[in-house]
Amino acid sequence: MQPGRYPIGFWNGDNYLHDIETRVEEWADLGFSLAMTPSFNHDNPEERTAIKRLLDLAHQRAIQVILCDN
C-alpha cells in the first residue's frame, strides 16, 4: 500500500474472470485500493492465466488484491 492511501475495498461475490480489464478499470475509477478476486482453481490453466492478468492490471493501478484460491 502506498503511504497515505487508506485501504478501500469491497466484498466480491461475482465471477468476472471473463471481463477483467473492465472490472479493474472500474475499481480504479471508483478509488478502490484493495480488491478481492473471485474464487478460482489454480489447477485450471485458464483461470490461472486470468488471475495473473488481473494481478498485473491491479498492480499497474496500485490496487492490492486478496486472492481467493480454492
What pLDDT, in 10s, does the model give residues 13-58? Answer: 777 788 899 999 999 999 999 999 888 888 999 999 999 999 999 9
pLDDT band at 59 (very low <50, low <70, confident <90, very high): very high
**Given a cut of 70, is residue 3 above it in pLDDT?**
no
Work out the number of other CB atoms within 10 angstroms of the CB of residue 4: 5
Assessment of whether the complete model's pTM goes beyond 0.75: yes
* Contact present, 16 and 25 (Cβ < 8 Å): no
